Structure 1
Amino acid sequence: MKVISQTLDLDISHHQIHIRCGEYNLKVNDWKKDEIEYGAIFTKNHVVFDPIVDGAFSALVNIMVKTNFTISDDSLRIIGFNFKKNGPMFISSVPEELPVDIDIKDGNFNVYFEICENVDVGEVYFNLTMVPNEFNDNFPIYLIDDDFGGKKNVKLPIREN
């Protein structure tokens, strides 16, 4: 399988990065106490992450479709989760919504969200690696211990809607 990729320059604010297919669901904006603690909200086709960085900023979001996942050398946090792509896909935050314009076939994916920091320039960026696969029963889960409270192999809650 050829690697398919796209890089988006996203304006981020309100501690939110949304990844979604289908209509925007306003209910996903209402964070529950445990979701605030874990820094993520999961539904089958709408996911929200706290980018960890405070304030409003711009950052690159690298979206890749691959046959497997390899951890980036500069990862600060990695969360694996299941995602059902069923139509157009969008990456957004409060200031803007950007379409994912690469040819990703509809289906089930194991997705790996990485918060990374390029220490040479001190900039945060995000990787979203999508691996076509059946859903992983262990997801969503932290894949590394991190400095923000994430503990390796801790399973995260999923919303029904």
Structure 2
Amino acid sequence: MEKNKQQVVDLLISHSQILVRSRPYSEELSQWGKQNIEQGAVIHHNYVIFDPLPDDAFGANVVLTSADSFIMDNQTQRCIVVPFYTHPDNVIEVASATEKFTVNLQLDALLYSLYYEICEGDEVFYKFTFVPALVPITAHYIIDDEWGGQKGKMLQSGRV
């Protein structure tokens, strides 16, 4: 794969959250409402938090990819897509409650369709794929999953 198209980090996931942000940490944006818990995501335009599903604290590989289109991994157990805005002055980070990493991909667009996958091979791992977009995609599940996700079901933005 070309340079700056993929990055892998070993993230300590805790407090049932994994997030991508293009702004500094915000306690206000990190709040979960009842509907957020049910849908497994808190979605803001430049700050998204996902439920990693396992409850314990654990280390997992997170694969970050910049691509022209999305191809789902054949080991995907859950897949969600959300609109994600960046700002040229802000660092993009992938984080959990306990640690964060700078995303070192060449992300020049201001708007992306951000695909979140929970995959299971020998171990659970996560994938975020950034696909440049001209218009914001409607946040929704890509596949049916065993945790209540229904293919095509829309997700609510904000704290709900």
TM-score (norm 2): 0.92
Q: Structure 2: which amino acid aligns with 1:90?
A: E
Counterparts of residues 115-126 of structure 1 (less than 5 Å): 115-118=118-121, 121=122, 123-126=123-126
Whole-angstrom distance in 1 between the partners of 2:135 and 2:81: 11
Is structure 2 residue 99 aligned with structure 1 residue 100?
no
Instruction: Tell whether the 8 Å contact from 1:40 to 1:48 is kept in structure 2 after alignment.
Output: yes
Moved runs in structure 1, 4+ residues, more than 3 A? none
Corresponding residue SS for 2:29 = helix
Identical residues among aligned pairs (%): 33
Whole-angstrom distance in 2 between the partners of 1:82 and 1:135: 9
Q: Show the counterpart of 2:9.
A: 8
Whole-angstrom distance in 2 between the partners of 1:42 and 1:61: 19
Is structure 2 residue 154 aligned with structure 1 residue 159?
no
Q: Show the counterpart of 1:134.
A: 134
Q: Structure 2: which amino acid aligns with 1:151?
A: Q
Q: Show the counterpart of 2:43.
A: 42
Q: Report the aligned-residue RMSD.
A: 1.4
Q: Show the counterpart of 1:29.
A: 30
Whole-angstrom distance in 2 between the partners of 1:82 and 1:69: 14
- Larger CA deviation: 59-68 vs 23-32: 23-32
Whole-angstrom distance in 2 between the partners of 1:102 and 1:60: 16
Whole-angstrom distance in 1 between the partners of 2:105 and 2:157: 27
Instruction: Tell whether the 8 Å contact from 1:78 to 1:144 is kept in structure 2 after alignment.
Output: yes
Whole-angstrom distance in 1 between the partners of 2:31 and 2:100: 18
Whole-angstrom distance in 1 between the partners of 2:55 and 2:154: 25
Q: 5+ unaligned residues in a row in structure 2: which ranges?
A: none
- Give the length in aligned residue pairs: 155
Instruction: Tell whether the 8 Å contact from 1:12 to 1:57 is kept in structure 2 after alignment.
Output: yes
Deviations 1:19-64 (A, max 9, x none): 0011211112221000000010000000000000120000011010
Q: Structure 2: which amino acid aligns with 1:101?
A: N
Instruction: Tell whether the 8 Å contact from 2:81 to 2:139 is kept in structure 1 after alignment.
Output: yes
Corresponding residue SS for 1:28 = coil
